[in-house]
A and B are shown apart, each in its own frame.
Chain A
Amino acid sequence: MKREVPLFITAAAGLLIILSFFVPHQIVSVPADFLQQTALILRAFGFVLGGVNVLLVNFDAIYKRQPGWIYKVVLVASLIATVVIGAVEGRGFLNPGTRSKWIYDNLYANMSATMFALLAFFIASAAFRAFRIRTLEAGLLAVAAIIVMLGRVPLSNLLTAWLPEWARLQALQEWILNVPQNASKRAILMGAALGVMATGLRVILGIERTYLSGEE
């Protein structure tokens, strides 16, 4: 029951989805569409489960007065407030003028954007401290990176305008992207496609079982 039933469910669901790719008849397409609708709903339940888990883990940390528990009070309070406000405001909770929209625009959006903006500083710092050219391959990587970085910005249009068109940084950058980069990315795409297909079939056939996680 604990392993066999899930393995059977995975196999049945996976095979039906693959079959729906080849068989347009409703005897296959209707159950496959039902499975897709089921996936939408289960994913949504998964997000709710994730949020509930965050709540439980942090309640536990507050109760046990773990280091930094004061901040976890902020986390829990903001989570509950966001859920309650959204629940009260109903289906149109993100319509203009609602409190949920205010939270989204001024708290969520700004903090999300700023967290990622920090990366700009770290990428510059890492370029100075960690990017070491010790081999021919690393040198090739660095040269390609520098040409693409510089060729992609308008300052290079100005600085290399005196060169013939094929020698300008922008043209070199385009050539790198269209020819060698394209070739290597296509090879990676095709290799990854084979890998995904193999793994997908292994999962469907029950050979790959790591998603059943741990105990018997």
Chain B
Amino acid sequence: MSFHPAALNTAYGVGIWVGALLTFCVFSFLYKDNPFYKFAEHLFVGVSAGYYIILNFWTVIYPNLMEPLGKAFAGKGAGEQAGMFAAQLGDYRGWLLIPAFLGLLLFTRLFGRIGWLSRWPLAVLVGIYAGLQTTGFAQGDLVAQIGASLQPLWTGKLGSSLNAIVFTIGLVTSLLFFFFSREHKGALGAASRIGIMFLMVGFGAGYGYTVMSRVSLLIGRFQFLLEDWLGIVR
């Protein structure tokens, strides 16, 4: 093992030391809440909020709205056409005044008396995403998954056939558990009890993977401290 801590004489090195210091400030919460943690927490929120504002301005509002509107106001239509409202698929020039207006209406939310105007752009967003998710879930999750579930129970091999049978029982009984139009009694009750067993196994697997994910995040932080900050190289 060799030891090469990040240098303090370069912006890169200073940055790593600042990052390491803030990492320890956040980790100090494990002992108890303290001013260092509170400082890091508020700094994080401030930097995040500022970063989100400026990122969305330069990556969406400027290229997707302001630039095409600028061209439209200069009389340049989409393609070879002239006129601010000359548009084509994907390039809407002057028509972008509509989302610009709706976007500004969102800010009326901050003013009590005219705050109701912000419902219009919200309605546009809600309608669009309701439509997108309805079709997306229908095609991607319902139709495709039903199709994939219709598999032969006998595959020619005992092992995979047993798996297919167990899978089908698990799928049907889990679906029956979510059927609440009838009381879970009798055959439906027995089926939903089996369904609960499968669901619990599924949740257990999910818990196991969640533990893996959380531990990975800690491993990543320690790798940053050991490899990037202290430069401990194996």
Q: Is the CB of A106 within 8 A of B18?
A: yes
Chain B residue numbers with a CB within 8 Å of A100 are: 51, 54
Per the CB 8 Å criterion, the residue count for chain A at the interface is 130
8 Å CB contact of B23 from A41, A108, A110, A177: A110
Q: Is the CB of A120 within 8 A of B215?
A: yes
CA distance A179 to B96 in the complex (A): 50
8 Å CB contact of A111 from B22, B137, B209, B212: B22
8 Å CB contact of A2 from B55, B62, B90, B116: B116
Chain A residue numbers with a CB within 8 Å of B11 are: 102
CA distance A29 to B30 in the complex (A): 54
Q: Is the CB of A197 within 8 A of B106?
A: no
> Which residue of B has the minimal Cβ distance to A175?
B163
- Beyond A56-B110, A90-B58, A181-B201, whether A41 also contacts B46 by CB under 8 A is no
CA distance A141 to B61 in the complex (A): 47
Q: Helix, strand, loop or mixed for chain A's interface?
A: helix
CA distance A67 to B234 in the complex (A): 47
Chain B residue numbers with a CB within 8 Å of A179 are: 163, 166-167, 170
For the complex formed, measure the closest distance between the CB of A38 and the CB atoms of chain B, giving whole angstroms.
4
8 Å CB contact of B138 from A80, A94, A187, A193: A193
Q: Is the CB of B43 within 8 A of A141?
A: no
Q: Is the CB of A191 within 8 A of B47?
A: no
Contacts A74-B43, A113-B220 supplied; 5 other A-B pairs, CB < 8 Å? A71-B38, A107-B19, A183-B171, A183-B202, A196-B137
B-to-A contact residues, CB < 8 Å:
11, 15-16, 18-20, 22-23, 26-27, 29-30, 38-62, 64-65, 89-90, 92, 95-96, 98-100, 102-104, 106-107, 109-110, 116, 119-135, 137-139, 141-142, 145-146, 148-149, 163, 166-171, 174-175, 177-178, 195-212, 214-215, 217-218, 220-221, 224
